[in-house]
Amino acid sequence: MYDTADTIAAITTPLGESGIGAVRISGPGAYAVGDKIFKSKSEVPLKERRDRSIQYGTIVDENGTCIDEVLALIMKGPHSYTAEDVLEIQCHGGREALESILQLILRSGARMANPGEFTERAFVNGRIDLAQAEAVMDVIQAKSRAGLTSAVSQLEGRLSKVINKTRNELTELVTRLEVMIDYPEEDLEDIAVPDVSGALKGMQKKLQHMLEESQSGRMIRDGVMAAIAGTPNAGKSSLLNRLLQEERAIVTDVPGTTRDVLEEWITLRGIPVCLVDTAGIRETDDTVEKIGVSRARQYLDRADIILAVIDSSRPLTEEDKDILQSVAGKNVIVVLNKTDLPPVVTSKDLSPYGFLLCPISASTGKGLDELKDMLLQEVLKGGFTDGPSALLTNTRHIELVRQSAEALNRAQQSLQDGMPLDCAVVDIRQAWDALGSITGDTVHDDIVEEIFSRFCLGK
């Protein structure tokens, strides 16, 4: 953990050219640092000014030179993002203005914040738990409205409430069992083994339901990868452009124009879909093209869905057949492209491969709606449930809930086998610990550090 006695600062908006940029200062010395650099008509120290107020003034360096005209937002702890004293400087959004102000702040007594340190302080200071902290990055990285809704729901504590309720039930159960174990001679009301098993079964069922919906949650958060594959000039890049409704990929009559992978996102009924335009797959002596073909095959291995594009205006080639054979057993839609030209390849020629087939013309757009519908149906087959109802979207959370459910199953088995109650208590405690790692109550410091290291600087 970092030293929370430090006062930290960072630029919190993207560097570039914009109307407004922001630099955040947080910690016990936030207002002392601010008083050194912020000048306004009022001479009242910032710490004595009204909480949640906006102050107009200028940022002035050590030589009295004005750097920028700014607004200073005062947010006193614990009612701030970090639960510490926070001063946020809003200036013009140019790179030079932001960096000059940040460097002046660092020279005035603050240190540079580490990636994710503002949010980590919010966690350490108890304003949010670990699951809510992770949701902050999910909000920032949301790829669809459904993903944003799910992330905000977690940020508001929806998952944490369910986890804490289950942990409280486990705590109560363990407490009663340990009293029975430690004080058998006392005249206390025993809890019957069938009642314990029933309670464990109910909690396990709840966790299992969360796991069953987790595939849907993963799709909402991370999206689905659909790789567009085929031989050179089959129309892969034209198809990508049609699906995106913009000219994103270069399209020419020259085979091998696409030599690298191009990734773009679309949304289908709230599900983010990453469309990957790959290099045309063929045998080649060109070194650069070989690398592109190799990457294309790697994406075919990783993709959730493959759109195998076939040029219907020319005979099926050996390379076409090789691609179709290489994706056997995968989730494939064969896109029979160029149907605006006289047909040479028909659905009958492709039927032996057993894949879904969708005739389209990427140049005219005919058949595109049918392809989108077919793609959506394939996505839904992957376990998506309509609406962002899934509680689990994070791989770490999914694994911890799985560990907890398995521990509860072991506890039930111990009771059924007539084992001493101590054995069941050990497994119940493991379930309790696993769930606590989700909210951060029982998590190791190194895991916390690893989580926050993924955050962007300034958050």
Could you tell me the sign of the dihedral formed by the alpha carbons of 114, 115, 121, 123, in that order?
A: negative
Decide if 339 contacts 238 (C-beta within 8 A): no
Point out the least confidently predicted range of 108-122, 184-198, 208-222.
Answer: 184-198
Please give the average per-residue pLDDT across 280-286, as a whole number. 70
Res 137: pLDDT: 94
Determine which of 64-68, 78-82, 177-181 has the lowest per-residue pLDDT on average.
Answer: 177-181
The token pair at 23 is: 């630099």
Burial class (CB in 10 A: 0-12, 13-18, 19+), 250: exposed
Average pLDDT rounded to a whole number, residues 1-17: 88
Mean pLDDT on 166-170:
96
Higher pLDDT, 189 or 368: 368
Tell me the percentage of the chain whose pLDDT exceeds 70. 91
CA distance 436 to 395: 16
pLDDT the model gives residue 2: 66
Q: What band does 285 get if pLDDT is binned at 50, 70 and 90? A: low
At 191, the pLDDT band (50, 70, 90 cuts) reads low
What's the CA gap between 444 and 450, in Å, rounded?
10
For the segment 401-429, the average pLDDT, to the nearest whole number, is: 93
Of residues 109 and 1, more confidently modeled:
109
The predicted model gives 342-346 an average pLDDT of 89
Most confident range (mean pLDDT) of 232-236, 296-300, 399-403 is 399-403
> Of residues 77 and 291, which shows the higher confidence score?
77
Place 382 in a pLDDT band, splitting at 50, 70 and 90: low
pLDDT, residue 86, reads 98
- Over its C-alpha atoms, the chain yields an Rg (Å, rounded) of 29
Identify which has the larger pLDDT, 414 or 347.
414
pLDDT category at 187 given cuts 50, 70, 90 is low
Model confidence at 300, in pLDDT bands (50, 70, 90)? confident
The confidence score (pLDDT) of residue 143 equals 86
Please tell me the predicted confidence (pLDDT) of residue 257.
Answer: 47
Q: Which amino acid is at 243?
A: L
Q: Which residues contact 218 (CB under 8 A, 6 or more apart)?
A: 393, 395, 398
pLDDT of residue 61: 96
Which residue has better confidence, 287 or 340?
A: 340
Q: What is the mean pLDDT of residues 385-409?
A: 85
Could you report the per-residue pLDDT of 217-256, keeping only the tens digit for each? Answer: 888 888 889 999 888 888 888 899 899 887 665 444 544 4
Residue 189: per-residue pLDDT = 54
> Among 226, 275, 284, which Cα is nearest to 256's?
284
Query: Which domains does the chain possess?
Result: 8-128 (3.30.1360.120), 134-213+392-440 (1.20.120.430), 223-381 (3.40.50.300)
Tokens 């944490």 locate to 160
pLDDT over 60 at 71, yes or no: yes
Check residues 264 and 391 and name the one with the higher pLDDT.
264
26/271: higher pLDDT = 26
pLDDT, residue 254, reads 44
Residue 12: pLDDT band with limits 50, 70, 90: very high
pLDDT for position 351? 87
H, E, C per residue of the chain? CCCCCCCEEEECCCCCCCCCEEEEEECCCHHHHHHHHEECCCCCCHHHCCCCEEEEEEEECCCCCEEEEEEEEEECCCCCCCCCCEEEEEECCCHHHHHHHHHHHHHCCCEECCCCHHHHHHHHCCCCCHHHHHHHHHHHHCCCHHHHHHHHHHHCCHHHHHHHHHHHHHHHHHHHHHHHHHCCCCCCCCCCHHHHHHHHHHHHHHHHHHHHCHHHHHHHHHCEEEEEEECCCCCHHHHHHHHHCCCCCCCCCCCCCCCCCEEEEEEECCEEEEEEECCCCCCCCCHHHHHHHHHHHHHHHHCCEEEEEEECCCCCCHHHHHHHHHCCCCCEEEEEECCCCCCCCCHHHHHHHCCEEEECCCCCCCCHHHHHHHHHHHHHHCCCCCCCCCCCCCHHHHHHHHHHHHHHHHHHHHHHCCCCHHHHHHHHHHHHHHHHHHHCCCCCHHHHHHHHHCCCCCC
Mean pLDDT score, 150-160: 93
Q: Among 81-85, 197-201, 312-316, 446-450, name the most confident range.
A: 81-85
Q: How confident is the model at residue 69, as a pLDDT?
A: 97
**Mean pLDDT of all residues belonging to the chain:** 88
